[in-house]
């Protein structure tokens, strides 16, 4: 009688199930779901979870393990304690995500499950990001140095290290190459899974809505000022009879919507620009509605390890313009025909005057012919899904365990 093969047990450290903290949580959740669909026994360690989240995850084959609280300490400190897994559960693989949960994942293996393998995933490049973060008290260079050293230490201490997308992978390859004991890092490309989604048509009614979304407190990184200036330039290139346009910015701090709206109008130098600013939301339904309502999504990031917002727009079938400084832009150039990416991935010089002109012309082209832009978006998402799926990422990981 053949022996039944045991499903691998995988523990993923992700802090939360729904994405209140942004893209890292979304990617972690998508990875958990893909591993569960591939047949793994998946446990996701979080700092808290609602009953609805517990049910939602369980329905998808993922068990949420809520870390015990350490009185008087930040909730993330609880991740360093032994994970509350079901009795008798011993992980084959533990996955940490960046400096956020990587230390807890390493503690889990070293302190509790020494025979488990450890996979460390790199999500950001601190050297690219930190000098764009305004208003910090400490020196950006010192902060970037400390965070980079931590990311590399976590990567070197794992059984395997992986980076999200080609841009971060190239950087991780370079930085680990100086350590003789380091293995070649893996590369995980998030999937463009869009099976069953209907072809999007141009949004009815008006005004035409241009969407810029993400955690925009870091407005310099996300290029919110550049997007505002470029949209204002695009509107100056259009005729008076063309449809009205509104800029929707989703991602302000709860008490910062009015202040950000005033800054956007100042950046645009056009008091007639219609601007709506809404707070950051972790509600996937609300974000899906934003994408479904938009005629165009902008991702003019000055630095972006990957760029999940752009991927979500592609999957939704919404026209999108993506920064050439984003890992997503690099990935699209690798997997799609040059003619398609030329209309979607916009080079960034980091000279604002030149970038505003280039982005403004591309925005105007989309708004001038939304039907053509939506047709291009549909071709692009179908081609991208053929090239990259979450099932492929899950298979990469399961193959490591074999």
**pLDDT tens digit sequence for 256-274:** 999 999 999 999 998 888 9
Neighbours of 238 (CB within 10 A): 14
Question: Region 27-32: what's the mean pLDDT?
Answer: 94
CATH class of 9-192+388-401: alpha beta
Looking at the chain, the whole-number percentage of residues with pLDDT higher than 90 is 77
Q: What is the pLDDT of residue 134?
A: 61
From residue 264, alpha-carbon distances to 21, 129, 234, 271 in Å are: 23, 22, 15, 10
Q: What is the DSSP string of 202-236?
A: PPPSSSEEEEEES-TTSHHHHTHHHHHHHHHHHHH
Q: What is the pLDDT of residue 22?
A: 66
Residue 2 has pLDDT above 60, yes or no: no
pLDDT by residue (tens digit) across 210-239?
A: 999 988 888 999 999 999 999 999 999 987
Question: Region 358-364: what's the mean pLDDT?
Answer: 97
Tell me the C-alpha distance between 70 and 72, whole Å. Answer: 6
Question: Region 193-207: what's the mean pLDDT?
Answer: 87
Task: State both tokens at 210.
Answer: 């241009």
**pLDDT bracket for residue 3 (50, 70, 90):** very low
pLDDT by residue (tens digit) across 118-140?
A: 999 999 998 888 887 766 677 88
Question: Region 298-310: what's the mean pLDDT?
Answer: 95
Neighbours of 317 (CB within 10 A): 21
Rg of the chain over Cα atoms, rounded to whole angstroms, equals: 22
Straight-line distance from the first to the last Cα atom of the chain, in angstroms, rounded to the nearest whole number: 22
Q: Which of 52-66, 275-289, 342-356 has the lowest mean pLDDT?
A: 275-289
CATH class of 208-386: alpha beta
Q: What is the pLDDT of residue 1?
A: 45
Question: Region 48-61: what's the mean pLDDT?
Answer: 96
9-192+388-401 and 208-386 in the same fold: yes
- Could you tell me the residue ranges of all domains in the chain? 9-192+388-401, 208-386
Question: How many helices and strands (H and E) does the chain possess?
Answer: 16, 13
pLDDT by residue (tens digit) across 160-185?
A: 999 999 999 999 999 999 999 888 99
């Amino acid at each position: 009688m053949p022996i039944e093969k045991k499903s691998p047990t995988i523990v993923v450290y992700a802090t939360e199930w729904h994405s209140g903290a942004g893209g890292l949580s979304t990617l972690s959740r998508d990875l958990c779901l893909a591993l569960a669909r591939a047949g793994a026994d998946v446990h996701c360690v979080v700092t808290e979870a609602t009953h609805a989240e517990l049910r939602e995850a369980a329905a998808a084959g993922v068990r949420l393990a809520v870390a015990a609280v350490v009185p008087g300490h930040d909730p993330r400190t609880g991740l360093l304690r032994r994970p509350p897994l079901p009795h008798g559960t011993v992980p084959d693989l533990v996955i940490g995500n960046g400096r956020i949960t990587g230390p807890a994942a390493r503690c889990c293996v070293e302190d509790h499950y020494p025979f488990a393998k450890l996979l460390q995933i790199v999500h950001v490049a601190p050297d690219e990001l930190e000098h764009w973060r305004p208003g910090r008290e400490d020196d950006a260079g010192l902060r970037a140095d400390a965070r980079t050293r931590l990311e590399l230490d976590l990567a070197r201490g794992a059984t395997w290290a992986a980076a999200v997308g080609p841009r971060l992978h190239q950087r991780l390859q370079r930085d680990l190459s100086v350590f003789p004991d380091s293995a070649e890092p893996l590369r995980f490309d998030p999937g463009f899974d869009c099976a069953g989604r209907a072809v999007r048509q141009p949004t009815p009614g008006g005004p035409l809505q241009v969407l810029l979304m993400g955690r925009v407190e870091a407005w310099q990184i996300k290029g919110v000022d550049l997007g505002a200036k470029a949209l204002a330039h695009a509107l100056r290139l259009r005729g008076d009879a063309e449809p009205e346009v509104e800029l929707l910015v989703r991602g302000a701090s709860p008490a910062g919507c009015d202040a950000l709206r005033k800054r956007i109008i100042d950046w645009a130098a056009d008091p007639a620009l219609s601007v709506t600013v809404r707070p950051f939301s972790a509600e996937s339904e609300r974000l899906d509605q934003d994408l479904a309502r938009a005629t165009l999504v902008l991702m003019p990031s000055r630095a972006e390890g990957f760029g999940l917002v752009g991927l979500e727009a592609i999957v939704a079938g919404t026209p999108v313009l993506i920064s050439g400084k984003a890992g997503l832009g690099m990935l699209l150039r690798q997997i799609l025909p040059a003619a398609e990416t030329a209309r979607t991935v916009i080079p960034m010089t980091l000279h604002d005057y030149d970038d505003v002109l280039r982005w403004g012309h591309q925005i105007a082209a989309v708004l001038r012919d939304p039907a053509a832009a939506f047709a291009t978006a549909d071709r692009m998402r179908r081609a991208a899904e053929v090239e990259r799926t979450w099932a492929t990422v899950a298979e990469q990981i399961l193959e490591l365990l074999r």
